[in-house]
Structure 1
Amino acid sequence: MSAIAKPKVLIVGAGLGGMALGIILHKAKIPFEIYERAAVVKPLGTALSFNATTAAMFKQCGFYDEFLAIAKPWTEVQIGNTQRTIDYKIDFSEQEKLFGATGFIISRPDICDLFSRQIPKEHMHMGKKVVFSEQTEEGVRLSFADGTAAEGDILVGADGAYSTIRQQMYEQLKKEDRLLASDGEPLPFSTICLVGQTKPLDPKDFPSLALPESQVMTILGKGTPYAWSIFTTKKNTVAWAFGEVLGRESSKEGEKNEEWGPGAAEAMCELCRDFPVISGGDKLVTMGDLIDWTPKELITKAMLEEKVFETWYDGRVVLLGDACHKISPAGGAGATNAIHDAIAVANWIYALPPSPTKNDIEKYFAEYKKERLPLVKGAYESSRMFMTISSKSYLEWVAAFCFKNMPAWMNRKLLAGMLAYRPMVAFLPDPEDKGTVPPSPQHSLEARRIVKERMEAASRA
């Protein structure tokens, strides 16, 4: 496609999904702009896990080695108890052999910084709160709170669980009686979480920091609605999360405002201060120690919403990541699936004909949903399986029994279900994959054939 014929993509949201899409579009020389409502990206959150399913894209885009330099490998999840002993482990040690890359833990601020450095600064626009979005047969338009506007050909909503783009798209669909009833319901959650990350620590205070692999550990508060997790990072910090299972399904719309005021995080901090943490040494570390080692401004309270929406696109507008599927972090699938979405969306945008019409764009967005929705639903179910570990019900016992007694062949089958889909960018050279389990089919790689046939037809004309 000529430079004039390529569609201009407006991306709302500078989270990992939005930035991943920007990185790939930049490689394709497809014009794009990213708009983020926050004036600056705050270093909030805990740690994220990445695995073989994102390694291909990282390699293709040229920053895998940089990622390895700041991430710490991990091969198992340890489930502990309040007596500071390990009850059982969930084994991921065969990941590299089977799928060509191992798993890694990296703090959220570090991965966000890595992604942002892959995008030319002139394409990142901070402090841009969308107040109105619209589409026509000819294009899309964004209006911002600061009085400015932006126009393009495609609008991507990558702006999180409470996506403004999704809400405005759904409002229009509802007016036209085209919105599914389930998509109009509030986003539910049954767990609230306190998260943070310590300053760099001396391994003498937290000995497991000295181990070559990240210690990924969840401790269950028996007889309580609480569970808490830690993740050691390459920077000698401990990322942590403390969760409370509410025992009921709620929504942001149904919660009282005072429950989410300035003192909410402080109240949860006091609640969990005495809870034990396994540090890898003789020192009796508690959640209170982790909290004291964490800058107060970096401790936040969050809701762990769970929902897969059915409506992902309309005309020139498409959603990705948390904007169309909010998956519990229990299985570590939220960020990776946002990146998978970005790969598929970018591939189909690459496949669009020159000067695409609204119908052309919607047709390819339907292909994107066709590829991704079944996989997202599978990730959603996997995350719920991991959530049963701390469900405080008989399912917790069942999950523990299964993981403790799982034979090796079943563990490999479980991993294959989670990690066989290893998507690639269609227009970049395939990376080397030494895994013994080949990648599962990726529908959006059809973009290669579509573009090749179009170029051949043009050369014959």
Structure 2
Amino acid sequence: MAPSFKVLIVGAGFGGVTLAVLLERANIDYEIFESAAGVSPLGGAVVLGPTVMPLLEQLGLLEKVQRISKPIKTIHLVQENMKRIGEINLSDHKRQTGYDSLVATRSELLSLLVAQIPTFKIHFSKCVLSFAANKDEVVVRCTDDTSYRGEILVGADGAFSRIRELLYRQVAKKGILPRSDAAAVAADAAVASFAAATALANETGATLALHSHGHHPMDTAESSEAVQQGGRHISLVGVTRPLDSDAFPIVKGVDSHSHTIIGDRSHYSWSYFTVPGNRICWAVNMQLNDHILQEPQQQPLRSPSPPLDAPLSPTPSTRSSFSTTSTSSSSTATGYPSIAELGYWESEDAMTGPLLSRLVSDDCKSFPVPLDNAGNTKGTTTTGTLGDFIDATPKDQIARAITEQTLFETWHHGRTVLMGNACHRMISNAAHQGAVDAIQDAVALGNLIHGLPSASPENVVNIFKVYQADRYPHAKTQLHMSNTVGKLMFGKSWTEALMRVFLVRYMFKIYQHFCDDKILADRPQAKFLPMVESRGDVHALPQRAHKVPEGEKHLKH
């Protein structure tokens, strides 16, 4: 018998769509809302590790994913002068788990998942304006003056989540928003306001510092500290059109070929993966430090965001580019768009001004890339340039992302819960690793929702608490690991360079073994579907059982 409640999902990224697919299989009523007009072609490569393969096998999608992917066994690390640093070896994944890691394009993987959802249950071009909840239900109102009712609201709308912003407004009014979450919101507002102020300063000839924002009640020191803790990056990504395999023989291989290049004297690092169809997914990443952020901009990095206590206006705003990971919303009465309107993946049309134009400059296009089919050990390397990839990429499929790392403390309140980048956002990188975390969030939350005997307020709050208790430690571990990998991949200080060489050349096997035991063992499955047996030398962790108040019914996730 199908449960008599409905789940409203905002955001059609990997987390939101995976949750929708699970609810569809569980025969639980749901609707999903996405601000974009459809699945965006923007975004680069996604590396799916073994931790999500049992779920894909359960859903009958593993073979389909394999057809649009390439197995990846090794990621080569080199310096800008083509000197070899080492390799990240993924070839043991098959032995450890029974599954290879796979690389595909973000748009093709997401399209495959979206195709599992009945078209009448997913609403594109739906921008959430507001939501309100009471004891019995939650009501979502959109900018086209439509409303939707349900018992559970899931914010899966990305790094600059509209649902998180609205939820935090409600929590802040009650005086229970943790200081760390308020500081993270202040950090978003700081950079947004800085960018807008700098754009104005260009007209007056003035130069403004990062902390001169003045649009949030947080004090300047705390806002600045929150920004620094965020580790802000700009990434530019793209997928080439099919390449001539004679000119680029690396695309011929059955396995994905990948290099990450560490810039010698710059703030840049760049990467690429080969994917099916003789194509290459490439990415260039630039760290943003105080010096770079204070450079004059011709156009804001983002639109400024209002304080949490600012009133909302029902008049929708417009955007010059679209995003699939954040949900557009209305402007506020202050005239500033919401945080959700700040671009995550955005088209190249948005990229003007000195800071962003750096990412498509001639200097950037001249960055060398090794084109060997195997790791170079003899001191000679066949090289091309990043410009070879950029020039082979349609302009409307080049995208940039401005991201930072934040682990939020508030994941739920009342009938609303956050998942994926909305509650633990990671630095966007070449492999879009946040996709795997969002999928695992969806499995945990989907199992708990499936086990609900009813959507009473007590039951809903209880499963949200269980969900956060289960996923928060994992997100915290991933955040620390992302920081380590970020320093390994992008760090430019002499200590980070030393750590990179030491870790990759001498300690990586030990470090990887430690990570494999902790991470590869976490292979969650949908408990209401036929289970896939554990394979490989690293056994999957058992999925724990929990109880809800009514009838002491067990919830397994």
Counterpart residue number, 1:459: none
Q: Which amino acid aligns with 1:231?
A: F
Q: Which amino acid aligns with 1:272?
A: C
Shift of 1:212: 1.9
Counterpart residue number, 1:19: 17
Q: Give the distance between the partners of 1:341 and 1:117, measured in 2 at CA.
A: 20
Shift of 1:189: 4.1
Counterpart residue number, 1:337: 437
Q: Is the CA contact (8 Å cut-off) linking 1:421 and 1:440 kept in structure 2?
A: yes
Counterpart residue number, 1:458: none
Secondary structure at 1:406's aligned position in 2? helix
Q: Which amino acid aligns with 1:307?
A: T
Counterpart residue number, 2:359: 268
Counterpart residue number, 1:326: 425
Q: Which amino acid aligns with 1:382?
A: M
Q: Give the distance between the partners of 1:22 and 1:90, measured in 2 at CA.
A: 34
What's the TM-score, normalizing by structure 2?
Answer: 0.76
Shift of 1:259: 4.3
Q: Is the CA contact (8 Å cut-off) linking 1:21 and 1:346 kept in structure 2?
A: yes
Q: Which amino acid aligns with 1:154?
A: I
1:243-392 equivalences under 5 Å are 243-248=285-290, 257-259=299-301, 261-264=350-353, 265-270=356-361, 271-280=363-372, 284-330=383-429, 333-354=433-454, 356-389=455-488, 390-392=490-492
Shift of 1:268: 1.6
CA gap 1:277/1:10 in 2 versus in 1, 3 angstroms: same
Shift of 1:249: 10
CA-atom RMSD, angstroms?
2.4
Q: Give the distance between the partners of 1:232 and 1:84, measured in 2 at CA.
A: 19
Q: Is the CA contact (8 Å cut-off) linking 2:298 and 2:352 kept in structure 1?
A: no
CA gap 1:65/1:431 in 2 versus in 1, 3 angstroms: same
Q: Give the distance between the partners of 2:154 and 2:104, measured in 1 at CA.
A: 26
Q: Which amino acid aligns with 1:374?
A: P
Q: Give the distance between the partners of 1:107 and 1:89, measured in 2 at CA.
A: 22
Secondary structure at 1:343's aligned position in 2? helix
Q: Give the distance between the partners of 1:419 and 1:451, measured in 2 at CA.
A: 34
Secondary structure at 1:303's aligned position in 2? strand
Counterpart residue number, 1:56: 54
Shift of 1:21: 0.2
Counterpart residue number, 2:313: none
Shift of 1:410: 4.6
Counterpart residue number, 1:205: 247
Counterpart residue number, 2:176: 178
Shift of 1:256: 7.9
Q: Give the distance between the partners of 1:396 and 1:367, measured in 2 at CA.
A: 40
Shift of 1:146: 0.7
Q: Is the CA contact (8 Å cut-off) linking 2:415 and 2:461 kept in structure 1?
A: yes
CA gap 1:133/1:9 in 2 versus in 1, 3 angstroms: same
1:33-182 equivalences under 5 Å are 33-182=31-180
Secondary structure at 2:40's aligned position in 1? coil
Counterpart residue number, 2:521: 420
Q: Is the CA contact (8 Å cut-off) linking 1:276 and 1:285 kept in structure 2?
A: yes
Q: Is the CA contact (8 Å cut-off) linking 2:34 and 2:124 kept in structure 1?
A: yes
Secondary structure at 2:95's aligned position in 1? helix
Q: Is the CA contact (8 Å cut-off) linking 2:420 and 2:438 kept in structure 1?
A: yes
Aligned length, in residue pairs: 449
Deviations 1:427-457, CA, capped at 9 Å, x for gaps: 11111332111112433x547x9999759xx
CA gap 1:326/1:256 in 2 versus in 1, 3 angstroms: farther
Q: Give the distance between the partners of 2:175 and 2:182, measured in 1 at CA.
A: 11
Q: Is the CA contact (8 Å cut-off) linking 2:46 and 2:433 kept in structure 1?
A: no
Q: Give the distance between the partners of 1:304 and 1:235, measured in 2 at CA.
A: 29
Shift of 1:217: 1.5
Counterpart residue number, 1:191: 233
Q: Which amino acid aligns with 1:6?
A: S
Counterpart residue number, 2:5: 7
Secondary structure at 1:341's aligned position in 2? helix
Larger deviation, residues 320-329 vs 22-31: 320-329
CA gap 1:398/1:200 in 2 versus in 1, 3 angstroms: same
Q: Give the distance between the partners of 2:57 and 2:518, measured in 1 at CA.
A: 22
CA gap 1:284/1:310 in 2 versus in 1, 3 angstroms: same
Shift of 1:250: 9.8
Q: Is the CA contact (8 Å cut-off) linking 1:333 and 1:379 kept in structure 2?
A: no
Larger deviation, residues 282-291 vs 117-126: 282-291
Q: Give the distance between the partners of 1:131 and 1:171, measured in 2 at CA.
A: 13
Shift of 1:362: 0.5
Shift of 1:346: 0.5
Shift of 1:283: 6.0
Counterpart residue number, 1:230: 272
Q: Which amino acid aligns with 2:446?
A: A
Structure 1: unaligned runs, 5 residues or longer:
456-461
CA gap 1:266/1:197 in 2 versus in 1, 3 angstroms: farther
What's the TM-score, normalizing by structure 1?
Answer: 0.92
Shift of 1:213: 1.3
Q: Give the distance between the partners of 1:440 and 1:399, measured in 2 at CA.
A: 31
Q: Which amino acid aligns with 2:172?
A: K
Q: Give the distance between the partners of 1:249 and 1:103, measured in 2 at CA.
A: 38
Q: Give the distance between the partners of 2:549 and 2:366, measured in 1 at CA.
A: 60
Q: Give the distance between the partners of 1:249 and 1:454, measured in 2 at CA.
A: 56
Which of 518, 521, 543 is equivalent to 1:442? 543
Shift of 1:84: 3.2
Structure 2: unaligned runs, 5 residues or longer:
189-229, 303-349, 374-380
Q: Is the CA contact (8 Å cut-off) linking 2:128 and 2:141 kept in structure 1?
A: yes
Sequence identity (%): 33
Q: Which amino acid aligns with 1:364?
A: I
Q: Is the CA contact (8 Å cut-off) linking 1:190 and 1:248 kept in structure 2?
A: no
Shift of 1:47: 0.2
Q: Give the distance between the partners of 2:179 and 2:7, measured in 1 at CA.
A: 29
Deviations 1:274-302, CA, capped at 9 Å, x for gaps: 11011227764211111110000111221
Q: Which amino acid aligns with 2:458?
A: N
